[in-house]
């Protein structure tokens, strides 16, 4: 492990969700005229359907009077005076309406049917007219008092959209990312008072109130016309029921489940197909593990060959990391995913582009390569050879990582740390309530286990805080993780902290208040994968890049494929596909050389904008 680093500057105070929300609001999202017209026609049809009896009775009374006048009353009247009346149905209807409001000047008929109609039309007609007006007024009032009814009418106008069942934090973030990427969304939520309902309604997202397991609710949300469905409720069984119901009424619908149980995740994918069930802990654990080994990690892709980190960096003045993109990528073994200049303008990630001071780049690479870039991205490092070498203090060697919280996330993080940092000492702090099976597995893995409260100084000291490179607090309680982090920082102000929190807004606030730079929200890490899988069935890992969702895909190169014979560099230039791993003959190139040509039988892992690939 390296010597103690200097504390890094905290990230900006605004969370990614807040930035995305402001961007969406700035677009002034509105329903189109034709959508509103179609929704109103559907809703008016529903109102007429519910008030069918008085309306039908009123029409029956009016039609009876009209036909009587046309077929019997006027012909008899004309025959009596010998004139040609020329009466048509329109005039007969007009005279019937006159009878309805007691304004008719017609002579009283002598026959029994006519007399009955002349008495019945004003009495029965007015009764049914008033009853219809009362019923329609009540329904219109209900429409205003119960806006969820109008939401159903709006949802019926959507097609090729994504349905999100469950508007918790995962569902909310997934909805924002889909909207930001240009996809239409309809939400099903059982609780109209949910904290995120009002926000999505302002963004013109229909929210259908009800239980997503109900086939009628799914049809109201447009399941038979939708592109995909994401079951994001915090209950594995409910999510399974939702997907089973959706597949019964729409067999071709792409479905994605949020799953907590890791073993259930694998079993469900064997039933529903690949990339249909996502375990939140499995999606977030690689990022926590990588963040404990490296700095400024945004997210991580977990490949069989190892962890690939995604890191954001601002190029320092006269930094070794400035210059032509191609030479920098080859020198450091990283690849540039996104490049923005000092004014925030997007720059095409071409090889002839240059990285200049103040540019912000998002790059992908092995953790050790990203760490090398971070350490060498210091002002004047490119011309440092012209100055005398400064004496660097050696300091104590930091050779351990402390992991607090042995749930599913913590256990998987330790497995990843052992696989990717075999020379580091891993120390686990467990509570007295930690299951015995987890304690046994930790000892079998060679992990030193400490029992106690990680907020207590003596427990942290016993875990070896003085020589720890990083501490990861991964409890499912946000407050507890913050308390552990603050207790550790009190003893070691330079300690590298990794905190698991549920809210990414809290993660950003921690950076401002306490200088904690690596607090990650599990729901924010998982949401892009759920969104991407609902759009395409063959994606792997996914992460969001501003208004875009980037995802990995795996291609097996066969005879006649468009990839055959192309260079890795050409794929990015021509198709926007960045090759991050090339598997050939049992060996893997991670990442492959930019001049490498793709051959028959290769397995290629690419990452790119999901809308372009």
What are 198-233's pLDDT values in tens digits?
Answer: 899 989 899 999 999 999 999 999 999 999 999 999
Q: What is the pLDDT of residues 543-557, one digit of tens each?
A: 887 677 888 888 888
Listed range (143-147, 254-258, 321-325, 451-455) with the worst mean pLDDT: 143-147
Return the pLDDT at 388.
46
List the one residue out of 50, 45, 36 whose CA is nearest residue 154.
36
Closest CA to 162 of 172, 149, 175, 176: 175
What's residue 11's pLDDT? 45
pLDDT at 390 over 50: no
The answer to whether the beta carbons of residues 501 and 519 sit under 8 Å apart is yes
Q: What are the start-end ranges of the H helices in 475-592?
A: 478-491, 504-514, 522-535, 568-575
How many residues can be counted in the chain?
Answer: 613
Distance CA 376, CA 365 (A): 15
Residue 215 or residue 478, greater confidence: 215
What ranges in 72-214 are assigned the alpha helix state H? Answer: 74-81, 89-100, 112-145, 147-155, 169-180, 197-202
Q: Residue 576, by phi and psi: left (phi above 0), alpha (psi -120 to 50) or beta?
A: left
pLDDT for 36-88, tens place per residue?
776 766 666 566 566 667 777 778 878 888 888 888 777 777 765 555 566 77
If phi > 0 it is left, if psi is from -120 to 50 it is alpha, else beta; for residue 250 that is beta
Reported as a pLDDT band with limits 50, 70 and 90, residue 138 is low
Start-to-end C-alpha separation, the chain: 39
- Whether residue 248 has pLDDT greater than 60: yes
Residue written as token pair 């599913």:
408
Which run of H or E residues covers position 60? helix 52-68
Q: Which residue has better confidence, 610 or 393?
A: 610
Confidence at residue 46, expressed as pLDDT on a 0 to 100 scale: 62
- Does pTM surpass 0.85? no
Residue 449, SS3 per DSSP: strand
In angstroms, how far is CA 506 from the centroid of its own chain? Answer: 18
| pLDDT at 30 > cutoff 80 | no
**Is the pLDDT score of 183 beyond 50?**
yes
- Please compute, for residue 470, the number of CA atoms within 13 A of its CA located in the half-sphere on the CB side: 28
pLDDT above 70 for 347:
yes
Contact 230, 165 (CB under 8 A): yes
Give 460's pLDDT tier (boundaries 50, 70, 90): very high
**What residue ranges define each of the domains in the chain, with the CATH number in brackets?**
51-145 (1.10.287), 153-259 (3.40.50.720), 283-292+395-527 (3.40.50.720), 294-384 (3.30.70.1450), 547-609 (3.30.70.1450)
* pLDDT score of 211: 93
Band of residue 402 on the pLDDT scale cut at 50, 70, 90: very high
pLDDT (0 to 100) of residue 389: 41
Where does the pLDDT of residue 462 fall: very low under 50, low under 70, confident under 90, or very high at 90 and above?
very high
Q: 507-539: per-residue pLDDT in tens? A: 667 766 656 656 777 777 888 888 888 887 777
* pLDDT score recorded for residue 395: 45
Residue 387: pLDDT band by 50, 70, 90 thresholds?
A: very low
Whether the pLDDT of residue 4 is over 50: the answer is no
> What is the percent of the chain where pLDDT is above 70?
81
In whole angstroms, give the CA distance from residue 412 to residue 432: 20
Of the listed ranges 242-256, 303-317, 370-384, the one predicted with least confidence: 370-384
Which residues neighbour 532 within 8 Å (Cβ) at sequence distance 6 or greater? Answer: 539, 542, 549, 551, 610
Task: Tell me what the mean pLDDT of segment 5-22 comes to.
Answer: 56
Residue 392 has pLDDT above 60, yes or no: no
> Crossing angle of helices 367-376/280-293, nearest 10°?
40
Sequence-ordered alpha helix ranges (H) in 146-261: 147-155, 169-180, 197-202, 215-220, 236-249
Tell me how far CA of residue 584 lies from CA of 212, 587, 588, 601, in angstroms: 45, 5, 6, 7
How is the chain split among helix, strand and coil, in percent rounded to 5?
Answer: 45, 20, 35
Say what the pLDDT of residue 164 is.
94
* Strand order across the beta sheet in which 360-366 lies: 297-303, 306-314, 360-366, 334-340, 346-347
Is residue 209 a contact partner of residue 189, using CB atoms and an 8 Å limit?
yes
Reduced to 3 states (helix: H, G, I; strand: E, B; else coil), residue 15 is coil
Q: Which comes out higher in pLDDT, residue 124 or 508? A: 124
Give yes or no for residue 172 having a pLDDT over 70: yes
pLDDT of 162: 93
Question: Is the distance from CB of 504 to CB of 11 less than 8 angstroms?
Answer: no
Of 34-48, 109-123, 161-175, 365-379, the range with the lowest mean pLDDT is 34-48
Sign of CA dihedral 103, 104, 107, 112: negative
Q: What is the mean pLDDT of the segment spanning 22-29?
A: 74
Q: What is the average pLDDT across 406-421?
A: 85
Q: Write out the two tokens for 129.
A: 């007219």
Q: What is the pLDDT of residue 140?
A: 58
Q: In this model, does residue 467 exceed pLDDT 80?
A: yes
For β-strands 254-259 and 277-279, DSSP reports them as parallel
CB neighbours of residue 290 within 10 Å: 29
Per-residue model confidence (pLDDT) at position 506:
72
Please give the mean pLDDT across all residues of the chain: 80
Give me the residue label for tokens 């809703």: 43
Share of the chain above pLDDT 90, in %: 13
Average pLDDT over residues 437-458: 88
Taking the C-alpha atoms of residue 9 and residue 374, their distance in angstroms, rounded to an integer, is 13
């Amino acid at each position: 492990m390296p010597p103690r680093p200097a504390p890094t500057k905290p990230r900006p105070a605004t969370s990614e969700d807040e930035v995305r929300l402001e961007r969406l609001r700035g677009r002034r999202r509105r329903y189109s005229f034709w959508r509103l017209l179609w929704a109103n026609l559907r809703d008016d049809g529903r109102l007429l359907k519910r008030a069918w009896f008085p309306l039908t009775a009123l029409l029956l009374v009016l039609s009876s009077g009209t036909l009587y006048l046309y077929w019997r009353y006027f012909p008899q009247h004309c025959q009596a005076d010998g004139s040609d009346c020329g009466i048509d149905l329109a005039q007969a209807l007009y005279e019937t309406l006159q009878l309805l409001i007691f304004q008719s000047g017609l002579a009283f008929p002598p026959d029994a049917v006519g007399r009955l109609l002349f008495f019945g039309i004003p009495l029965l007609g007015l009764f049914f007219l008033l009853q219809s007006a009362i019923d329609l007024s009540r329904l219109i009032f209900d429409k205003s008092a119960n806006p969820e009814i109008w939401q159903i009418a709006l949802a019926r106008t959507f097609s090729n959209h994504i349905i999100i069942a469950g508007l918790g934090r995962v569902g909310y973030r997934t909805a924002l990312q889909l909207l930001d990427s240009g996809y239409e969304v309809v939400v099903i939520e059982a609780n109209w008072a949910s904290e995120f309902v009002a926000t999505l309604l302002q963004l013109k997202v229909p929210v259908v109130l009800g239980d997503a397991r109900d086939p009628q609710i799914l049809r109201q949300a447009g399941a038979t016309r939708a592109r995909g469905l994401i079951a994001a409720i915090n209950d594995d069984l409910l999510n399974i029921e939702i997907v089973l119901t959706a597949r019964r009424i729409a067999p071709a619908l792409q479905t994605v489940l949020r799953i907590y149980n890791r073993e259930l995740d694998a079993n469900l994918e064997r039933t529903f197909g690949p990339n249909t069930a996502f375990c939140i802990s499995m999606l977030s654990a690689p990022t926590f593990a990588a963040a404990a080994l490296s700095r400024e990690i945004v997210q991580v892709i977990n490949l069989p060959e190892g962890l690939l980190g995604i890191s954001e960096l601002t190029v320092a003045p006269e930094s070794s990391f400035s210059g032509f993109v191609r030479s920098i990528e080859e020198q450091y073994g990283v690849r540039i995913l996104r490049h923005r200049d000092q004014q925030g303008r997007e720059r095409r990630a071409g090889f002839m582009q240059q990285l200049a001071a103040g540019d912000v780049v998002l790059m992908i690479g092995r953790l050790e390569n990203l760490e090398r870039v971070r350490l060498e991205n210091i002002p004047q490092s490119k011309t440092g050879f012209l100055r005398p070498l400064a004496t660097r203090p050696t300091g104590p060697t930091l050779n351990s990582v402390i992991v607090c919280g042995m749930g599913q996330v913590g256990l998987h993080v330790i497995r990843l740390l052992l696989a990717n940092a075999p020379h580091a000492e891993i120390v686990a702090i467990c509570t007295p309530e930690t299951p015995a099976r987890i304690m046994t597995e930790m000892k079998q893995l060679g992990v030193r286990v400490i029992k106690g409260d990680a907020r207590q100084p003596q427990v942290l000291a016993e875990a070896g805080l003085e020589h720890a490179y990083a501490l990861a607090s991964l409890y499912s309680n946000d407050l507890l993780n913050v308390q552990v982090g603050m207790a550790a920082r009190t003893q070691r102000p330079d300690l590298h902290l990794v905190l698991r929190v549920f809210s990414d807004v809290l993660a950003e606030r921690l950076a401002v208040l306490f200088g904690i730079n690596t607090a990650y929200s599990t729901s924010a890490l998982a949401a892009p994968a759920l969104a991407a899988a609902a759009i395409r069935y063959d994606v792997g890992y996914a992460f969001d890049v501003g208004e875009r969702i980037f995802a990995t895909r795996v291609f097996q190169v066969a005879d006649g494929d468009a990839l055959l014979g192309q260079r890795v560099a050409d794929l990015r230039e021509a198709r926007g596909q960045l090759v991050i791993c090339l598997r050939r003959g049992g060996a893997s190139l991670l990442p492959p050389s930019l001049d490498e040509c793709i051959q028959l039988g290769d397995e290629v892992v690419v990452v790119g904008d999901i809308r372009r690939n």
